[in-house]
Structure 1
Amino acid sequence: MAILDSKGRLFGKVNILDLGAALVMLLVAVAVFLVPGTSGSSVAQLGVQTKPVQVDTIVRGLTVSDPAALVQSLQESKKVNVIIRNQPYGELDVVGVKQLPRSVAVPQPDGTVISLPDPRPELDFTLDMMITLAGDAQMTDDGPVLGNNKVKVGTPLELEGQTFRFNAPVVGVRIQE
């Protein structure tokens, strides 16, 4: 009996192409399940330096029924959930919340311009504020990284608490030593 017959079968039973395909699938399964890759948590990587950072975010024109209560809620919460580019990061500490005044430029008869509080009643339900957040970030050559996302001026963050969820772009990043 020949090892390979005229139809390409080993010992007349197994097609050599089928055997090759089975071996390729077995090697792929071994590679996927047994060989370690580069995926996984980047926090567990050795040699990654972390430093504390403070991130300033600004909220402009947030419509809310009670702006003072929201500011007080943020100040008292001490932590806020952060979503960076639609990827949940986790919690950051709320270091400070500063309500920004709403003003309007008023031209004067002598040609100068002064800033006065905006008198429009609908602005009683509109809130501008600066929120300072703090946490530990991984340091790379490109700057601080939170949750595999670089955090730089202009990065869109989404802040979430028990009673709120709103967008707040980054306007400042300070790396603490």
Structure 2
Amino acid sequence: MAILDSKGRLFGKFNLLDVGAIFVILLVVISIFFFPGTTGSVAQVNSKTVPIEVDLVVRGLNVRDPQRLVDKDFRKGGKTKVIIRNQPYGEIAIKSVQELPRTLSVPQPDGSLKELPDPRKNNFSTDMLLTLEGKANLTDGGPVLGNSKVKIGMPFELEGFNYNFNATVIDIRLP
């Protein structure tokens, strides 16, 4: 029996082109699983990892009991999930939380303005100052969390078990 017959079949059973195609597919599958290549984004090529602290301000968060939210979900040493520019970053540690007092600008008889505590008791709106800490890649363009550069003024979306709201970056510290 000949190895290759007149119709191009190996041992009279397998077509030579089919055997070649199966061989190429096997090589591709093996190369994908055993040699996946490099990972990471191009922005992280010339960077080093440094600790970062990001201050966020939350304005007008409508919540029934803000103290319970701070005590239960934003306690010091806790974690929250962060979404930056619609890209999930992951969890980041909460360094501190400070509730900001609600004030009103009240005109005075002499024409000046004075900041006084808001006397309304049925106000379900609160302001907070959050400090988050984590690790960022420091590039020439600034710190990068995940694949997003962190800049003052950009929104962060914070998500947890029973909350999802936006905050704005007001300060970045690289200690």
| TM score, norm. by length of structure 1 | 0.73
State how 1:95-114 maps to structure 2 within 5 Å. Answer: 96-107=96-107, 112-114=112-114
SS in 2 for 1:23: helix
* CA-to-aligned-CA distance 1:52-85 (integer Å, 9 cap, x gap): 1110111111122222333344664322222224
Distance between the aligned counterparts of 2:3 and 2:133, measured in 1?
Answer: 75
* Partner residue, 2:70: 71
Partner of 1:3: 4
1:130 CA drift (Å):
0.8
Which 5+ residue runs of structure 2 have no aligned equivalent?
Answer: none
Aligned 1:115-130 pairs, distance under 5 A: 115-123=115-123, 125-130=124-129
Q: Deviations over 1:64-122 (max 9, x none)?
A: 2222333344664322222224525223142x322223233445676554444334443
* Residue identity in the other structure for 1:158: L
SS of the residue corresponding to residue 131 of structure 1 reads: strand
Deviation at 1:141, TM superposition (A): 2.8
Q: Secondary structure at the match of 2:22?
A: helix
Distance 1:3 1:67 in 2: 81
Give secondary structure in 1 for the equivalent of 2:122.
helix
More helix by share: 1
Partner of 2:133: 134
- Paired AA for residue 18 in structure 1: D
1:1-177 matched pairs, under 5 angstroms: 1=2, 3=4, 5=6, 7-39=7-39, 49-73=48-72, 76-84=75-83, 85=86, 87=88, 89-94=90-95, 96-107=96-107, 112-123=112-123, 125-153=124-152, 154-160=154-160, 164-176=163-175
RMSD: 3.2
Matched positions, count: 168
C-alpha contact 2:94 2:130 (8 A) present in aligned 1: no
Question: Judging changes above 3 Å, is the alpha-carbon distance between structure 1 residues 149 and 4 closer, same or farther for their aligned structure 2 residues?
Answer: farther
Q: Deviations over 1:152-174 (max 9, x none)?
A: 330423143x6655432322211
Amino-acid identity (%): 44
Structure 2 CA distance for aligned equivalents of residues 131 and 27 of structure 1: 52
Cα deviation per residue 1:27-74 (whole Å; 9 max; x = unaligned)?
11111111141237xxxx998522111101111111222223333446
The amino acid of 2:102's aligned partner reads R
User: SS of 1:77's equivalent?
Assistant: coil
Alpha carbons 1:89, 1:146 under 8 Å: kept: no
